[in-house]
Amino acid sequence: MHKRTLLQATAFAALLATGTLAFAQAAPFKIGLILPMTGQQATTGRQIEAAARLWMAQNGDTVAGRKVELIVKDDTSLPDVTRRLAQELVVNDKVDVLAGMGITPSAMAVAPIATQSKTPLVVMAAATSSITEASPFIVRTSFTLPQVSVALADWAPKNGIKSVVTLVSDYGPGIDAEKYFAERFQFNGGKIADKLRVPLRNPDFAPFLQKVRDLKPDALFVFVPSGAGAAVMKQFGERGMDKAGIKLIATGDVTDDDQLNDMGDVALGVVTSHHYSAAHPSAANKKFVEAFQKANKNLRPNFMAVGGYDGMRVIYEALKKTGGKGGGEALVAGMKGQVFESPRGPVFIDAQTRDIVQNVYLRKVEKKDGQLWNVEFDVLKDVKDPGKTK
Ligand code: DHB
């Protein structure tokens, strides 16, 4: 035993002398951040890239003696491109971590690459429940649609809403939102008058909203991905839905902080449930919003930015835990169980599911100092994703 330690020490000294170890440690730690910088989800890419750069500006680009390099790639919101870029980043650039993933189909396309190459994949935006089950190397810092939809289905029947039509984008997160909202609302005695699904690409909401008008439910529940909310809000107003006595309720993706301030008074009073509001009243969030706006020509950060910012923290902390060494399995182990205060509130990464556990807030759109905000009025603490099968 003693002899072996001595031998190891001698080998270590020799390695140091030749400079091999020093060289190995000097190799940068590469994060391949794949985002939709153009195309339908471009605002998601812009928000997450800005947040990742803010994190690095505030926390430095050296972790445990290792230089961190961020490589940003634009997948144009197309999953086939995400897959190709992930392959190139792993094989050619030899990235230590993959991150980003603006939409669910992108995360699903990259999951097998993460598994085969044992590369951690930090999902900062996509929010279908099943994503974390697609690879043991996936860790999520965004949210899930079941997580945020259930709170609203509990709130609605207690607030005079007895019948609802659901309207969702026709893909993973929309189907999750529809299922978990409807099941919980019906469990609470509510009636679902219809379930409508609109295409993800270039949706025209007009015919769907006409149908809702004819059905005349107490409320319309909506999920559309970040960036599409303003169009829904505009057409909801133009068709006089609110005047016909139909309330709009939604996940916070619809009253997205990236767009909310430009939506106008039609958004006033809309109740949503979500995990992040730029108006979240904590010191940590005030500091985050101020710094983000200062670095980005006054752009207001949205929930995507927070997913990116926290994703960088999770990567930095994991790298620290490995003493700067990295390694796919060691990094994922270092990500599991992390507990910290995010701008959204307290969060932790569930070691079993690798998914984020966080508060879900009920919010109402209000005008303050001439600006529209999602103002939180109630909270469900430490919500796990209810969509997990295990
Ligand atoms: C997803 C994308 C979004 O922009 C969003 O707000 C929620 C979910 C997704 O594709 O998973």
Work out whether the CA dihedral 74, 37, 305, 363 comes out positive or negative.
negative
Backbone angles phi and psi of 188, in degrees to 5 = -85, 10
Check whether 261 has a pLDDT greater than 50.
yes
pLDDT of 194 reads 98
Check whether 268 has a pLDDT greater than 60.
yes
- Tell me the pLDDT tens digit for each residue of 57-111: 999 999 999 999 999 999 999 999 999 999 999 999 999 999 999 999 999 999 9
Average pLDDT over residues 192-209: 94
pLDDT of 214 reads 96
pLDDT of 1 reads 40
Whole-model pTM? 0.94
- Tell me the pLDDT tens digit for each residue of 330-389: 999 999 999 999 999 999 999 999 999 999 999 999 999 999 999 999 999 999 999 986
State the CB neighbour count (10 A cutoff) for residue 223: 27
pLDDT of 208 reads 96
pLDDT of 202 reads 84
Confidence label for 168 from pLDDT (cuts 50, 70 and 90): very high
Ligand 1: residue of 82, 169, 226 to mutate (most ligand atoms within 8 A of CB) is 226
Return the ligand 1 atom nearest residue 171 CA: 10
Confidence label for 25 from pLDDT (cuts 50, 70 and 90): low
Average pLDDT over residues 289-316: 98
256 lines ligand 1 (CB under 6 A): no
Task: Give the percent of the chain with pLDDT over 90.
Answer: 91
**CATH code 3.40.50.2300 region(s) in the chain:** 29-143+281-354, 146-274+361-383
126 lines ligand 1 (CB under 6 A): yes
Ligand 1: residue of 110, 132, 144, 253 to mutate (most ligand atoms within 8 A of CB) is 253
103 lines ligand 1 (CB under 6 A): yes
Check whether 22 has a pLDDT greater than 70.
no
Check whether 178 has a pLDDT greater than 70.
yes
C-alpha 304 to ligand 1 mean position (Å) = 9
Check whether 18 has a pLDDT greater than 90.
no
pLDDT of 23 reads 44
Least confident of 8-22, 115-129, 153-167, 204-218: 8-22
Hey, what CATH class is 29-143+281-354 in? Answer: alpha beta
CATH number of 146-274+361-383, picked from 3.30.365.10, 3.40.440.10, 3.40.50.2300, 3.50.50.60: 3.40.50.2300
HEC-encoded secondary structure of the chain = CHHHHHHHHHHHHHHHHHCHHHHHHHCCEEEEEEECCCCCCHHHHHHHHHHHHHHHHHHCCEECCEEEEEEEEECCCCHHHHHHHHHHHHHCCCCCEEEECCCHHHHHHHHHHHHHHCCCEEECCCCCHHHHHCCCCEEECCCCHHHHHHHHHHHHHHHCCCEEEEEEECCHHHHHHHHHHHHHHHHCCCEEEEEEEECCCCCCCHHHHHHHHHHCCCEEEEECCCCCHHHHHHHHHHCCCCCCCCEEEEECCCCCCCCHHHCCHHHCCCEEEECCCCCCCCHHHHHHHHHHHHHCCCCCCCHHHHHHHHHHHHHHHHHHHCCCCCCHHHHHHHHCCCEEEECCEEEEECCCCCCEEEEEEEEEEEEECCEEEEEEEEEEEEECCCCCCC
Cβ 263 vs Cβ 233: under 8 Å: yes
* Residue 273, burial from CB neighbour count under 10 angstroms (0-12, 13-18, 19+): buried
Check whether 300 has a pLDDT greater than 80.
yes
86 lines ligand 1 (CB under 6 A): no
Check whether 176 has a pLDDT greater than 60.
yes
DSSP lists the bridge partners of residue 165 as: 194, 220
pLDDT of 128 reads 98
Confidence label for 26 from pLDDT (cuts 50, 70 and 90): low
pLDDT of 390 reads 53
Q: Phi-psi category of 270—alpha, beta or left, where left has phi over 0 and alpha has psi -120 to 50?
A: beta
pLDDT of 388 reads 85
Q: What is the residue with the minimal CA distance to atom 11 of ligand 1?
A: 126
C-alpha 227 to ligand 1 mean position (Å) = 9
- Cβ neighbours for 124, distance < 8 A, ≥ 6 positions apart: 48, 99, 100, 101, 141, 142, 304, 307, 308, 310, 311
Check whether 146 has a pLDDT greater than 80.
yes
Average pLDDT over residues 226-248: 95
302 lines ligand 1 (CB under 6 A): no
Compute the distance between CA of residue 93 and CA of residue 108 in angstroms, rounded to an integer.
21
pLDDT of 203 reads 86
Check whether 14 has a pLDDT greater than 80.
no
